[in-house]
Amino acid sequence: MNYIILSFSVIVLLVSVTVSYIVIFHPARVMAHNGLLFVSNAAKAHIACMKAAKYVRNVMYVKIKINAENSSQVIGRQIVNIYTKAQTNIDIRLMVKPYEKSKDIITRQPIDLIMYDSESAKEVEVLRKSVKSLDRGYRLQNIDTSDSPIENNVNEEVKAYEYVALGGTFDRLHNGHKILLSQAVLRSTRHVTVGVTDVNMIQSKKLWELIEPVEKRIETVLQFLNDINPDLEYNVFPLKDLYGPTKDDPKFQLIVVSEETVRGAVKINEKRQEKNLKKLDTYVIELAQDSHPRRHHEEEDKVSSSNQRMRLLGTLLRPPRPNPNIPDWPYVIGLAGGIASGKSNIAEKLKSKGAAIINCDIIAHELYRPGLPLNTTIAQSFGDHVITSDGEVDRRKLGQIVFSDKSQLQKLNELVWPAVIEETQRRVVALGKQGYKVVVMEAAVMVRAKWYERCHQLWAVIIPPDEAIKRLQKRNGLTEEEARQRIEAQPSNSEQVAHANIVFSPFWSYEYTQSQIDRAWQQLNEYLDNKK
In the prediction, which pLDDT does 21 show? 37
- Count of all residues that appear for the chain in the document: 532
> Phi and psi for 307 in degrees, rounded to 5?
-60, -45
In the prediction, which pLDDT does 74 show? 79
For residue 75, give Cα distances in angstroms to 49, 192, 259, 505.
15, 18, 21, 41
CA 208 – CA 195 distance, rounded (Å): 18
Question: Within a 10 A sphere around the Cβ of 409, how many other Cβ atoms?
Answer: 17
CA 368 – CA 392 distance, rounded (Å): 7
CA 250 – CA 467 distance, rounded (Å): 44
In the prediction, which pLDDT does 27 show? 46
In the prediction, which pLDDT does 300 show? 59
Q: What is the pLDDT along the chain (532 residues), one digit of tens a residue?
A: 444 444 434 333 333 333 333 444 554 457 899 999 998 888 888 889 999 999 999 999 988 877 665 677 778 888 988 898 766 789 999 988 755 544 788 888 999 999 998 888 888 888 888 899 999 889 999 998 887 776 666 667 889 999 999 999 999 999 999 999 999 999 999 999 999 999 999 998 999 999 999 999 999 999 999 999 999 999 999 999 999 999 999 999 999 999 889 999 999 999 999 999 999 999 999 876 655 555 555 555 667 888 899 999 999 999 999 888 899 999 999 999 988 999 999 999 999 999 999 999 899 888 888 888 888 888 888 888 888 888 888 788 888 888 888 888 888 888 889 999 999 999 999 999 999 999 999 998 899 999 999 999 999 999 999 999 999 999 999 999 989 988 888 899 999 999 999 999 999 999 999 999 999 999 999 999 987 6
CA 306 – CA 174 distance, rounded (Å): 11
CA 268 – CA 278 distance, rounded (Å): 11
pTM: 0.83
What's at 435, amino acid-wise?
G
Q: Is the separation of the CB atoms in 96 and 229 below 8 Å?
A: yes
| CA nearest neighbour of 169 among 92, 273, 260 | 260
Question: Within a 10 A sphere around the Cβ of 125, how many other Cβ atoms?
Answer: 11
For residue 152, give Cα distances in angstroms to 75, 81, 441.
14, 12, 60
Q: Is the separation of the CB atoms in 56 and 10 below 8 Å?
A: yes
| CA nearest neighbour of 446 among 353, 341, 361 | 361
Q: Give residue 336's region: left, alpha or beta (phi > 0; psi -120 to 50).
A: beta
In the prediction, which pLDDT does 85 show? 79
Sign of the dihedral defined by the CA atoms of residues 512, 514, 516, 522, in that order: negative
Q: Is the separation of the CB atoms in 127 and 114 below 8 Å?
A: yes
Q: Is the separation of the CB atoms in 298 and 508 below 8 Å?
A: yes
CA 17 – CA 147 distance, rounded (Å): 30
